[in-house]
Amino acid sequence: MPAKLNQLNKIKVGIVNYLNTKPLIFGIQHAPVAGELLLVEDYPANVARMLMEGTIDVGLVPVAVIPHLKEHHIITDYCIGCTGAVASVAIFSEVPIEKVEKVLLDYQSRTSVALAKVLLRKYWKTEPKLVDTKADYRASIKGTTAGVVIGDRALEQRKVSTYLYDLGAAWIDFTGLPFVFAAWVSNKPLPADFIAAFNEANKIGLENIDRAVAEHPYEIYDLQTYYRQNISYELTAEKRKGLDKFLGFCAYESIIKTHG
Ligand SMILES: C=C(O[C@@H]1C=C(C(=O)O)C=C[C@H]1O)C(=O)O
């Protein structure tokens, strides 16, 4: 039996509050399932925290937290992924990557900071100092200090930094596999009819990209390109292979860290 949900009997759904989820939000709000759920928006690290703490039942969470969940179920055929350059996840810097001495890690991210660690070590084969951040740190991206930036702030940072190393493109060059940044994950079994209706809502969103674009005028980056060429929303078998490979790297890297 699915676990008891909140008093309103609505399923609490957490979603990332970046532009890349606007088509999905459009679908969820316009689909019949809208009345069965409460939508909470926050940045990825917070959506992950809410799912771990159990204040939401399902969330579009950074995949890097999957190994930290006591129970997890990947639901739906949709995700935030890429099959080429993702545009909104990159290491930004003023010097080429081999000259970078320090990398500031985006406090809003869980997946991309782990991906940056894997790629710096295995793909670029450099060992800069890695520094966690707490608040906006983008003004500190200068000289030999680079920064991982994700989401809308990354689309802005494209106009600022001299060098941009797209982590989606680098992963694909490194592994030959697509990448999954975030997936719909529940922390308890959910009713099958809800899952089916929620899956359909995601599909409706992706069929209405033009309307999502029209509702969110944005000058900094072309959202048609972003939604149709950079972000790839289908959770395909190839993407699941990329996801498994990434989680394998993460486990291996943390073993190295734990045992020196
Ligand atoms: C591609 C992106 O993927 C995001 C990156 C995440 C992360 O790094 O933890 C989490 C959720 C995704 O929405 C992006 O937001 O730019």
List the chain domain ranges: 11-81+179-235, 89-175
Q: Using CA atoms, how far apart are residues 204 and 126, in angstroms rounded to an integer?
A: 43
Q: How confident is the model at residue 9 (pLDDT cuts 50, 70, 90)?
A: confident
Verify whether ligand 1 is closer than 6 Å to residue 187 (CB atom).
Answer: no
Query: What is the ipTM, given to two decimal places?
Result: 0.98
Q: Which pLDDT tens digit goes with each residue over 10-41?
A: 999 999 999 999 999 999 999 999 999 999 99
Q: Which helix (H) or strand (E) holds 118?
A: helix 111-122
- Amino acid letter for position 221: Y
Q: How confident is the model at residue 7 (pLDDT cuts 50, 70, 90)?
A: low
Verify whether ligand 1 is closer than 6 Å to residue 109 (CB atom).
Answer: yes
pLDDT mean over 52-74 = 96
Which numeric CATH code is attached to 89-175? 3.40.190.10
- Which residue in this structure is represented by tokens 């100092």? 129
Q: How far is the CA of 126 from the centre of ligand 1 (A)?
A: 23
Residue of the CA atom closest to atom 16 of ligand 1? 151
Q: How far is the CA of 81 from the centre of ligand 1 (A)?
A: 8
Report the SS3 class of residue 32: helix
Q: How far is the CA of 61 from the centre of ligand 1 (A)?
A: 9
Residue of the CA atom closest to atom 15 of ligand 1? 151
Q: Do domains 11-81+179-235 and 89-175 have the same CATH topology?
A: yes
* 11-81+179-235 CATH choice from 3.40.190.10, 3.40.228.10, 3.20.20.70, 3.40.50.150: 3.40.190.10
Verify whether ligand 1 is closer than 6 Å to residue 44 (CB atom).
Answer: yes
Q: Which atom of ligand 1 is nearest to the CA of 60?
A: 11
pLDDT mean over 145-160 = 98
Give the pLDDT score at 225. 98
Q: How far is the CA of 20 from the centre of ligand 1 (A)?
A: 9
Which is it for strands 232-234 and 73-82: parallel, antiparallel or unpaired? antiparallel
User: Is 95's pLDDT higher than 60?
Assistant: yes
Give the pLDDT score at 1. 46
Q: Which atom of ligand 1 is nearest to the CA of 115?
A: 8
User: Is 84's pLDDT higher than 90?
Assistant: yes
